[in-house]
C-alpha cells in the first residue's frame, strides 16, 4: 500500500491510496463516520428561556455545535469507571450559558458558552443560537460528553468522509476530430484543448461522471474514462473538533481493536 498526501490543512485531508481495495476503504469510511468519538452537548438543563425559540429547538441547535475534542483525557460515558448516569469529570464537561438582552436586540452566539474546561469549547464561536429581544433572557447549563456518530449525527467527527477511484482518461487521437464538445461539458474543467489535441489536467478532480464520453459524437467514442480499482482518493473534512489525521488514526486503532477482539474471541470459541 502506498499513500501520498494530496492536500492537508487544519480541517481537511486528501490522500491518494494505492494498492488496496474498496472493502478496506469502506470499512475505514464507516468507522470514521459512526465509531470515532467526538465531543458534543448531550444533556441540557434550561433554567430560564424567554427567547422566541422553544426549549427543544434551542437544545437541538446547541447539540449540533461542534466542540473541541480531547480523546486522551475523556472517556466514553459507557466505558468510564464512574458508572454514573450523571457522569464525572472524566466523562462529562459542563458549559454554562447566561445571556440577557438589556435595551436592544442581541444575538446569542456559541462563543457565549462558559466552559468549566478551557480546552473543551465550541470550535466556531460565531454560530447564532438564538436572538433575544430587550429584557429576554437565557440561562442554561449544558453537559458535553463523548459519543459516536452511530448514536447521533452531532457526534460525527466529520462532515465528509468519502472516497473515489483514481480516474484515468484517454483520448484516442486517431478518432478525435477535436470538436471540443467534451471540453465544454466537463463540470470540473479537467479537459483542455491545446491546438488539435485534448489534454487532461488535474485529473484527481475528475468526478467520474462520464459526461465527456456522452458528449462525444464519434462512434466509437474518441474519449474513454476508466478507473483503477485498487487506487483511491480519500477525502476527510473534519467539523473542527479533531484534526483530520487524528480522526484517521483513531479509526485505524478502533479497527485494530475490533480485529484483535475477533481474533481472541474466535480462539476462545475453538
Q: Which residues bind another protein (CB under 8 A)?
A: 47-50, 52-53, 61, 64-66, 105, 110, 123-128, 130-131, 133-137, 153, 156, 158-160, 237, 239-240
- Residue 110 CB partners (closer than 8 Å, separation 6+): 65, 122, 124, 125, 126, 127, 129
Nearer Cβ to another protein (47/76): 47
Residue number with CB closer to another protein (123 or 222): 123
CA dihedral angle for residue 60, residue 61, residue 62, residue 63, rounded to 10 degrees: 50
Report CA torsion sign: 194, 197, 202, 205. Answer: positive
192 binds ligand SF4 (CB under 6 A): no
Which partner from the list ligand SF4, Zn ion, another protein, none does 210 bind, CB cut-off 5 to 8 Å by kind?
ligand SF4
> Partners of 192 in the beta sheet?
199
Interface of this chain with ligand SF4, residues 109 to 148, rule: CB under 6 A: none
Residue 41: strand pairing partners: 144
Rounded Cα distance, 172 and 261, in Å? 52
Q: How far is the CB of 233 from ligand SF4 (least distance, A)?
A: 13
According to the binding rule CB under 6 A, does residue 182 interact with ligand SF4? yes
| Residue 80 binds: one of Zn ion, ligand SF4, another protein, none (C-beta under 5 to 8 A by kind) | Zn ion
Q: Which of 21, 207, 253, 264 binds ligand SF4 (CB under 6 A)?
A: 207
Position 58 contacts ligand SF4 (CB under 6 A): no
Q: Residues interacting with Zn ion, by CB under 5 A? A: 80, 82, 87-88, 90-91
242, burial (CB in 10 Å: exposed 0-12, middle 13-18, buried 19+):
buried
| Residue 13 parent element (H or E) | strand 12-18
* Nearest of 120, 141, 124 to residue 39 by alpha carbon: 120
Span from 44-52, 67-75, 87-95, 190-198 in contact with ligand SF4 (CB under 6 A): 190-198
- Tell the smallest beta-carbon distance from residue 19 to ligand SF4 (Å): 23
Phi, psi (deg, nearest 5) at residue 155? -95, 0
- How far apart CA 33 and CA 162 sit, in angstroms, is 10
Question: How far apart are CB 130 and Zn ion at their closest, in Å?
Answer: 23
Residue 88 binding partner per list ligand SF4, Zn ion, another protein, none, with a CB distance cut-off of 5 to 8 Å that depends on partner kind: Zn ion
Q: Would you give the distance in Å from CA 184 to the centre of its chain?
A: 32
Measured from the CB of residue 189, what is the shortest distance to ligand SF4 in angstroms? Answer: 8
Amino acid at each position: 500500500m502506498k499513500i501520498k498526501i494530496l492536500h492537508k490543512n487544519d480541517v481537511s485531508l486528501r490522500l491518494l491510496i494505492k494498492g488496496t481495495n474498496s472493502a478496506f476503504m469502506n470499512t475505514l469510511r464507516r468507522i470514521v463516520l459512526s465509531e470515532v468519538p467526538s465531543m458534543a452537548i448531550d444533556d441540557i438543563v434550561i433554567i430560564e428561556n424567554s427567547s422566541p425559540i422553544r426549549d427543544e429547538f434551542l437544545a437541538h441547535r446547541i447539540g449540533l455545535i461542534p466542540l473541541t475534542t480531547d480523546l486522551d483525557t475523556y472517556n466514553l460515558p459507557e466505558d468510564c469507571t464512574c458508572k454514573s448516569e450523571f457522569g464525572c469529570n472524566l466523562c462529562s464537561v459542563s458549559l454554562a450559558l447566561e445571556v440577557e438582552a438589556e435595551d436592544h436586540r442581541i444575538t446569542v452566539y456559541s462563543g457565549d458558552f462558559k466552559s468549566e474546561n478551557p480546552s473543551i469549547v465550541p470550535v466556531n464561536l460565531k454560530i447564532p443560537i438564538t436572538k433575544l429581544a430587550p429584557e429576554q433572557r437565557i440561562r442554561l447549563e449544558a453537559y458535553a460528553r463523548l459519543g459516536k456518530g452511530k448514536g447521533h449525527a452531532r457526534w460525527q467527527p466529520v462532515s465528509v468522509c468519502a472516497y473515489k477511484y483514481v480516474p484515468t482518461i484517454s483520448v484516442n487521437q486517431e478518432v478525435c476530430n477535436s470538436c471540443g464538445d467534451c471540453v465544454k461539458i466537463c463540470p470540473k474543467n479537467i479537459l483542455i484543448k491545446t491546438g488539435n489535441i485534448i489534454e487532461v489536467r488535474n485529473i484527481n478532480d475528475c468526478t467520474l461522471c462520464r459526461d465527456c464520453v456522452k458528449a462525444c459524437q464519434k462512434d466509437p467514442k474518441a474519449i474513454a474514462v476508466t478507473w483503477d480499482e485498487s487506487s483511491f482518493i480519500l477525502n476527510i473534512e473534519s467539523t473542527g473538533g479533531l484534526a483530520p489525521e487524528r480522526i484517521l488514526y483513531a479509526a485505524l486503532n478502533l479497527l485494530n481493536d475490533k480485529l484483535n477482539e475477533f481474533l481472541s474471541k474466535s480462539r476462545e470459541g475453538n
